Structure 1
Amino acid sequence: MSKKRLLCLSNGHGEDLIATRIAEALLAYDVEVLALPIVGEGQAYRALGLEIVGPTRTMPSGGFIYMDVREFWKDVRGGLGRLTLEQWRTLRRLAPGCDLVLAVGDVVVLTLAYLTGAPYAFVGTAKSDYYQLGRPSDYTPLERWLMTRRACLVSYVRDRLTAENLGRWVPRATYLGNPMMDRLEPTTTLAVPEGTLVVLLLPGSRPPEAYRNLARMLEVVERLGEVPDRPVHVLCARAGSLEDAGIGAHLPVGWHLEGTVLRRADLAVHLERGRFAECLHRAQLAIAMAGTATEQCVGLGKPVFTMPGEGPQFTYRFAEAQTRLLGESVQLVSGGPETLARRIGQVMGDARLCERIRRNGIERMGTPGAADRIAEHLIKRIG
């Protein structure tokens, strides 16, 4: 029997991560996996050692063109049209020789998968009926039509509510969990002082926006004090894309960088690079202005406190949508650093609310193991 061949098609950093987790699980079945990320450089695929079969390029918007028409025109001037054409040619050339095109993301990759004429499966990362407060369906008639074509073997959606609602139009809509919650087991031990409340800062990964986000978070840290009645120990999950010079250039007055620690008088924020899972598990709460990292923190049952930023990603619109998706696990505060610090004290002092937040996170994000379950399900479909 010849080896099965699968082509992963994804359009975004978070989508790449989900695709690589499923791809890694598929490799256990001796499947050849090719990758075509249509946004960014596809670093997640490269880290797994998968072959990237088409051209890649980071666009000025960072992949957030749907939020602002000005960002779209920046990408057009940056060569978006030519890049898209080259990627489409690659897809048309390779897809007929694949047993399956796995489209991970939104309607863009779903449409491209359909147009290849090859069998395809869809992992919907962008839509959830929680965005609509439970009403069906966040998926448009066009998306539902694409998911009911004969070539579409299965569609995996991100939560049980969406699968149940979508099932009335798309019989092959399936929920097997959210791969975003996989591979989050700590690999090292992160030491923190006993008896402290561990606060995690998640400023995002895209400079210069992440630098501005971190500066705003430090203004919250200045106002935290003890929450409640416990000394605070602050961690920051620092993305590899954030440089010392950029962090230093955006620090609020009084803050300075000493090695891997940000200091102001008796305050300290410990910058941790490459230890994201450890930070997530040790923290009791997060202050976040991020996408995927926020959802993962919520899925582990932690309360997340957030405030709108300047964008292009983390605007009020993005943050408000995030609260609909994730419910009361995300506390959106618009009144500035002092108001946010006060809200942290209120929530952390309410044991009943914290327990509701823990249960809500598991309901919205699911349990680990989704990538393995999806891979097994896919193998049965193409085998």
Structure 2
Amino acid sequence: VFGGRPLFLMQCRSSLRVGGRPYSVTERLLMRRAARVYPREPEGAVWLRARGVPQACYLGNPMLDALDEGSLELPPPYLLLLPGSRQDAYQSLPLMLEACRLLRDTSLTPVVAWAGLPLEGLERAGFSLEATGRSEGVTHRLCHPDGTVVYLAQRAFGAALRGSRVALSTSGTAAEQAAGYGVPLVGFPTQGPQYTPGFAQTQKRLLGEALMLTEPNPEAIVRGVRAFLSSETLLERARAAGKAAMGEPGAALRIALDIHQHLLATAREPELSRSR
């Protein structure tokens, strides 16, 4: 309402895939004031154009861009642990660690993409926590007496995604980013505040076969991982579903160039009028 002109809107949250009406009548009326509207999926652009927002233009999802690119220096492939950035992480990471113990035979390197929550209150399921002295990449190791080592990484999410085979997840944005990079997800609900059963089902509708939901116990989580690892068909369907839901990386650049071209064209209009 109060923005200057021209106005450009990136809409990264609303999705037709989760059901219902993603954009209210009021939102669509406000969108008509924008020079461009960039929804997160091609279906969104089609839906908006059919409902009075002809300037809706799908150029990809910027959520896949600008990942932390610190070095990881661990041998792939990884079993990626995404406990999330909310208090759910304190419930879910201990279950994920137990699952890692049961998956030692897979030869996957377990890596936790830790979002910076304090580590002091973390239940470690028998694992000791060792600091590496680094501020990014592998900042800690979680070591169990049975020989299981899980690496806790910070500010190296891009490297973790590109080297991962499967991910365990109770996260929001990180799960969507992983799916977009072709990493199948095994998720399970927590008591909240974020990754509740309802949130998990909504994310399942968004990501489709890229996300397998299980019961919140280590044995069920392990069965989900082994199902992906034992079936190339399941893996390929999960990767395809993640790409379909999230698009290809590079949307931030494509949107920036589109805005730039629009501004250049707008700046030329007064000159063309005077020349006529």
Give the CA deviation at 1:374. Answer: 0.7
Separation in structure 2 between the aligned mates of residue 335 and residue 131 of structure 1, nearest angstrom: 23
Does 2:98 correspond to 1:233? no
1:294-316 CA-to-partner distances (Å, cap 9, x unmatched) read: 11110111101111112111211
**One-letter code of the match for 1:200?**
L
**One-letter code of the match for 1:182?**
D
**How is 1:64-213 mapped onto 2 (pairs within 5 angstroms)?**
114-116=1-3, 118-132=5-19, 137-148=21-32, 151-169=33-51, 170-184=53-67, 186=69, 188=71, 190-192=73-75, 197-206=77-86, 208-213=87-92
Distance 1:173 1:137, change over 3 A: farther
Distance 1:282 1:117, change over 3 A: closer
Give the CA deviation at 1:280. Answer: 1.0
Give 2:129's aligned residue: 257
How many residues of Structure 1 are paired with residues of Structure 2 in the alignment? 254
TM-score after normalising by structure 1: 0.62
**One-letter code of the match for 1:308?**
P
Does 2:243 correspond to 1:362? yes
**One-letter code of the match for 2:210?**
S
Give the CA deviation at 1:116. Answer: 4.6
Give the CA deviation at 1:200. Answer: 0.7
**How is 1:209-228 mapped onto 2 (pairs within 5 angstroms)?**
209-226=88-105
Q: CA RMSD in A?
A: 2.1
Q: Is the 8 A contact 2:12 2:62 kept in 1?
A: no
The answer for unaligned runs of 5 or more in structure 1 is 1-113
Separation in structure 2 between the aligned mates of residue 319 and residue 335 of structure 1, nearest angstrom: 12
Give the CA deviation at 1:189. Answer: 5.5
SS at match of 2:120: helix
1:206-262 CA-to-partner distances (Å, cap 9, x unmatched) read: 3x4322221222232233343xxx3232111122x2233233xx222x222122111
Give 2:154's aligned residue: 273
**One-letter code of the match for 1:263?**
C
Give 2:271's aligned residue: none
Separation in structure 2 between the aligned mates of residue 378 and residue 137 of structure 1, nearest angstrom: 27
Give the CA deviation at 1:152. Answer: 1.5
Q: Is the 8 A contact 1:128 1:159 kept in 2?
A: yes
Separation in structure 2 between the aligned mates of residue 176 and residue 262 of structure 1, nearest angstrom: 41
Identify the range of structure 1 (359-368 vs 117-126) with the bigger mean alpha-carbon deviation. 117-126
1:9-37 CA-to-partner distances (Å, cap 9, x unmatched) read: xxxxxxxxxxxxxxxxxxxxxxxxxxxxx
Of structures 1 and 2, the one scoring higher in RCO (CA 8 A, sep 6+) is: 2
